[in-house]
């Protein structure tokens, strides 16, 4: 059984390990790591092989054993990198993902939730390689509220998709929403179903907006769907003019230079929604931002070197929001 099934067991184990001298804990952690390296290999018969207090399938046994080892490794020696668990892997984060999915599929609900709530996983960079840092406990601000698409697709700090200068940008499509929906339907997992359900209104008309990412900044990237949801919420709440302008500015950038050249339908619909939303918030937006938005649309229609059909955006702006284009 996973040790995380009961919180009292975790507390007792943590207290016993913390009471050991520091050098002893390091030795113990090293021994546990050696056990972990071989934990998913074929098991050999032992004199305890007939001891079966609970009948479990083989995958469930491996899941419980590896989960207990990782838990004790973290509790014994403090923060542990994922690379320490998988020292011979070229992508330790992928190995962690595969192991976590094994746990999720095989551990009982209380064991899985106890594991998630006991081990905090921090996504970091080791130079240009993505890395995970495992530690015990959940500090304030964990898990982070914002997902980093750069980390998800392993685009490190020196990757070419990182924007380097003013006016530059990068767009990419990493997934297919229909594949995501098919996978969720296939696995019949309620948690995945909840996310797919929330995205259904987008999927019908703006499916690629969910999986198309845009970066106009060095340190962050957003999907078109994320930008639109942020815009709608910011517009609906009691937001300041600067907060409102910031949300609109992201959608403006996507309207001017977003989406793949061939994704004409989603780009056209995104632009329509954006311009109609500007019209509804026209009197709330700072005049300076409106002037800059009109300039960006005009500039985009003249410098359309990436196939984003800036002329079409200009025509739409003149039709939907003529007041903006005469500022």
Q: Are residues 196 and 313 in the same domain?
A: yes
Q: Are residues 131 and 183 in the same domain?
A: no
What is the residue range of 263's domain? 170-326
Q: Are residues 21 and 69 in the same domain?
A: yes
Domain assignment present for 101:
yes
pTM above 0.75, yes or no: yes
Contact status, residue 232 vs residue 267, Cβ threshold 8 Å: no
Domain assignment present for 284:
yes
Q: Are residues 141 and 202 in the same domain?
A: no
Q: Which of 145, 180, 206 is the last residue of a domain?
A: 145
Domain assignment present for 220:
yes
Domain assignment present for 161:
no
Q: Are residues 100 and 210 in the same domain?
A: no
Q: Are residues 283 and 201 in the same domain?
A: yes
Q: Which of 80, 112, 145 is the last residue of a domain?
A: 145
Rounded to 5 degrees, φ, ψ at 219 are -105, 5
Domain assignment present for 256:
yes
151-164 burial code (b ≥16 CB/10 A, e <16): beeebeeeeebbbe
Q: Are residues 188 and 100 in the same domain?
A: no
Instruction: Please list the pLDDT of the chain residue by residue as tens digits (327 residues).
Output: 899 998 899 999 999 999 999 899 999 999 999 999 999 998 776 777 777 777 778 899 999 999 999 999 999 987 999 999 999 999 999 999 999 999 999 999 999 999 999 999 999 999 999 999 999 988 888 888 899 999 999 999 998 889 887 778 888 887 888 999 999 999 999 989 999 999 999 888 899 999 999 999 998 899 999 999 999 999 999 999 999 999 999 999 999 999 998 999 999 999 999 999 999 999 999 999 999 999 999 999 987 767 789 999 999 999 999 999 988
Domain assignment present for 153:
no
> Which residues lie closer than 8 Å to 184 by C-beta, 6 or more apart?
192, 193, 195, 196
- Separation of CA 288 from chain center: 34
The pair of three-digit structure tokens given for residue 94, joined into one six-digit string: 């992928």
Domain assignment present for 164:
no
Name the domain count of the chain: 2
- Give the pLDDT of residue 140: 83
- Give the pLDDT of residue 305: 64
Q: Are residues 118 and 187 in the same domain?
A: no
Q: Are residues 239 and 198 in the same domain?
A: yes
The pair of three-digit structure tokens given for residue 30, joined into one six-digit string: 């090293």
> Which residues lie closer than 8 Å to 236 by C-beta, 6 or more apart?
none
Q: Which of 97, 130, 145 is the last residue of a domain?
A: 145
Helices 58-77 & 7-18 angle (0-180, nearest 10): 40
Domain assignment present for 165:
no
Q: Are residues 97 and 59 in the same domain?
A: yes
Q: Are residues 176 and 308 in the same domain?
A: yes
Residue closest to 256 by CA, chosen among 297, 199, 316: 297
Q: Are residues 282 and 214 in the same domain?
A: yes
Element holding 32 (H helix, E strand): helix 22-37
């Amino acid at each position: 059984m996973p040790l995380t099934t009961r919180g009292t067991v975790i507390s007792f184990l943590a207290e016993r390990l913390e009471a050991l001298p520091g050098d002893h804990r390091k030795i113990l952690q090293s021994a546990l790591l050696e056990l972990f390296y071989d934990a998913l290999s074929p098991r050999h018969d032992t004199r305890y092989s007939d001891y079966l207090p609970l009948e479990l399938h083989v995958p469930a046994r491996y899941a419980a054993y590896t989960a207990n080892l990782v838990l004790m490794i973290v509790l014994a020696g403090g923060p542990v990198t994922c690379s320490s668990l998988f020292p011979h892997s070229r992508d330790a984060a992928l190995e962690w993902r595969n192991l976590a999915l094994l746990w999720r599929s095989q551990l009982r609900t209380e064991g899985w939730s106890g594991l998630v709530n006991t081990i905090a996983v921090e996504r970091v960079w080791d130079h240009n390689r993505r890395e995970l840092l495992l530690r015990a406990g959940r500090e304030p601000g964990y898990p982070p509220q914002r997902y980093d698409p750069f980390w998800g697709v392993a685009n490190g700090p020196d990757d070419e998709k990182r924007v380097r200068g003013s006016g530059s940008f990068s767009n990419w499509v990493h997934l297919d929403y229909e594949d995501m929906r098919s996978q969720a339907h296939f696995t019949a997992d309620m948690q995945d179903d909840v996310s797919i359900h929330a995205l259904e209104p987008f999927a019908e008309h703006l499916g690629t907006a969910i999986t198309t990412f845009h970066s106009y900044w060095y340190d962050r990237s957003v999907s078109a769907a994320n930008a639109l949801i942020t815009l709608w919420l910011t517009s609906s709440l009691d937001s300041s003019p600067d907060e409102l302008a910031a949300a609109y500015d992201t959608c403006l950038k996507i309207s001017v230079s977003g989406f793949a050249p061939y994704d004409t339908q989603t780009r056209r619909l995104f632009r329509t929604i954006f311009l109609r939303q500007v019209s509804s918030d026209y009197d709330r937006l700072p005049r300076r931002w409106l002037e800059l938005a009109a300039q960006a649309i005009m500039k985009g229609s003249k410098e359309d070197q990436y196939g984003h059909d800036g002329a079409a955006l200009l025509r739409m702006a003149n039709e939907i929001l003529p007041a903006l284009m005469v500022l």
